[in-house]
A and B are shown apart, each in its own frame.
Chain A
Amino acid sequence: MYNLELQNNLITTSVYGSAIALILIGLYAVLVKKNLIKIVIGLSIIDAGIHLLFVAIGYIKGFTAPIFSPGSENLANKMVDPVPQALVLTAIVIGFATTAVALSLVIRLYKHHNTARIDQIKSLKW
């Protein structure tokens, strides 16, 4: 069980801060930008922020990577939590797939409407 308040040094704070900043920047891009490509980029930035936050919560100061290799068999209680790292790997793959689908839809929209601006595509009610 890792408590956010306990990891109070400068590095972790900056990691958390930049993760939240990334999420906010991405949110800004998705909500404000009109260009479809920029919106997709915004989605990717949000994803990156979440992934960074995920890795950060599993980190314990001074602990090593959770890999059992020759010479580190006895370090099991000196390793950072491996679960968030495994989850992030999965989440990255999912984010990749979503981005790929999103970009292909943008291409289709561009061919269909001859524009990539979201405020000029209004065949359906937004």
Chain B
Amino acid sequence: MVISPVHYIAVPLLAAFLIPLLSKFIHKELARIVPGIVFLYSIFISITLMLQIGDKGIISEVIAGWQAPWGINLVFSPFSGFLASLMSIIGFLIWLYSYNFKKIDKEQSQKYHILQMMMVTGAIGIVLTGDIFNLFVFMEITAITAYSLTSFYRERDGAEAGFKYLLIGSFASVLILLAIMILYTQLGTLNMAEIAQKSHLIPTSLKTTIIVLFLVGFGIEAEMFPLNGWAPDAYSQSPGPIGAAFAGIVVKAGVYALVRVIFTLFDIHGAYDFLIYGGLITMIIAETSALAQTNLKRMLAYSSIGQMGFVLMAFGIGTHQAIVGALFLMFNHAIIKSLLFMSGSYLTYNSLTKQISALSGLGKKLPLVSILFGIGAFAIVGLPPFSGFWSKLYVLSAAADKNMLLLIMTILAVSIVEIIYYFRVVSTLYYGKQNPEIEIQKPSINAMVSMIALGITILVVGVYPDVITNLLENAATALTDKATYIQSVLTQNLPIN
């Protein structure tokens, strides 16, 4: 069988249609098992294609026989392939974690697993597509599933958080649509490679309009300040594993879209500075707000916004090393924040308010989960034996090469804030007084497996960063090398098999 990037999207879509039928006519349990099989298949495609592009360069797959500038194409480059593989793996781990998550099984688990699968598919579609309107469609698939998953629990204030997210998200989609429309009136094309080739033909004033509309639209998905009002509520009201999915998958797709627009589509001066300042402000405000939170999930949400600001800032520096650092940060944030959300939601399992004080003294009752949470907390602030250290080091040394001293000072100051609020949680966990009334919940085996897998990855990457740097170097080269991207999309007219 021929493996192609189309399978990333076609297989989950087919499965989403079949799951209700299968679970009705064959076995109820299939509704929960099939998404896992789909995720495993996505990981299999990722591995096969990543090995293939090792010697073939960029795979550009045309859909339905329409050649690149006219039809929709999917581009599997080292950059988009890296993100797609990361999303498939995190998607699988989240599925594994939520397989027996008790509160999800009380509701109709069939809906939950289909929606989670479609959310990951939408995000992978954003990363792979080579057509700007198609990117908009995938962004809407991701957003609509995210709205429904936010409001999944009926007893929480999910509907309110979901509606808030929906209002902001629809505004984003309107802006993106307007930007696409202006772009189309100017160039008459929707193919991203062709836009990149011709974008110098657009008058500067219109170019600025387009880029501002795109930045605001995608900035909402990427949690950029001040467009991130939806994030803390959506993270704290959604089911625990969905918080992990937002941090690990959805936001990554938003950042990808922002970066693609700035790096590939338009070569406009000042956009890089915009990323630096936007990222910096996002980081400072989010991390100081995180300090003030008493709710664990809200704290993690603000920390996630702060990390995204850091990523945007690293992309804004723009040198090769900084981009490697930014991609490393994205990878780290995906695994570490997923681990924190997963272990955190077992630590606050029976607490309705999810306060940090509910964790008091649980270190002795749930030793393994607490250790995993501790690993995550140490890794995300960037302590040396963990993977978070290397990404921070990359970004800091890239900033040092460009003599951005103020930037370095801010990053280090914000890191101290981060250390304070994460260590506060860890010390409550271990040194807090035990509350005998709190009923603990032992994690199921599959949840344990998925958390331990993430924990081991953090440790392994922390000790041997070389296992991942090669991939990251290739991805960074693919992102900055605009000419190869344009050439391989527009001239590769034979479908690769």
Contacts and interface: CB of A to CB of B under 8 A. Distances in A.
Given A98-B166, A98-B170, A109-B160, A57 B184 contact: yes
Contacts of B133: 87, 90
B144 A98 contact: yes
A50 B177 contact: yes
Given A57-B181, A90-B133, A91-B177, A1 B147 contact: no
B190 A57 contact: no
A80 interface: no
Interface of A: 1-4, 30, 36, 39, 43, 46-47, 50, 53-54, 57, 83-84, 87, 90-91, 94, 97-98, 101-102, 105-106, 108-109, 112, 121, 123-126
B163 A57 contact: no
A95 B233 CA distance: 24
B159 A108 contact: yes
Question: Which 10 pairs from chain A and chain B are nearest by CB?
Answer: A108-B159, A123-B157, A105-B163, A94-B140, A109-B159, A124-B233, A1-B188, A105-B159, A43-B170, A57-B185
Interface string B147-169: 11001001001011111101100
Nearest to A112: B159
Nearest to B181: A54
A87 B167 CA distance: 22
Given A105-B151, A124-B233, A97 B181 contact: no
Nearest to A3: B185
B137 interface: yes
B178 interface: yes
Contacts of A1: 185-188
A50 B174 CA distance: 8
Contact of B163 (A2, A50, A83, A102): A102
B178 A124 contact: no
Among A4, A57, A87, A97, the one with the most B-chain Cβ atoms within 10 Å of its Cβ is: A87
B237 interface: yes
A109 B163 contact: yes
A87 B166 CA distance: 22
A121 B228 CA distance: 20
A126 B163 contact: no
Contacts of B177: 50, 54, 91
A121 B167 CA distance: 15
Contact of B173 (A3, A94, A125): A94
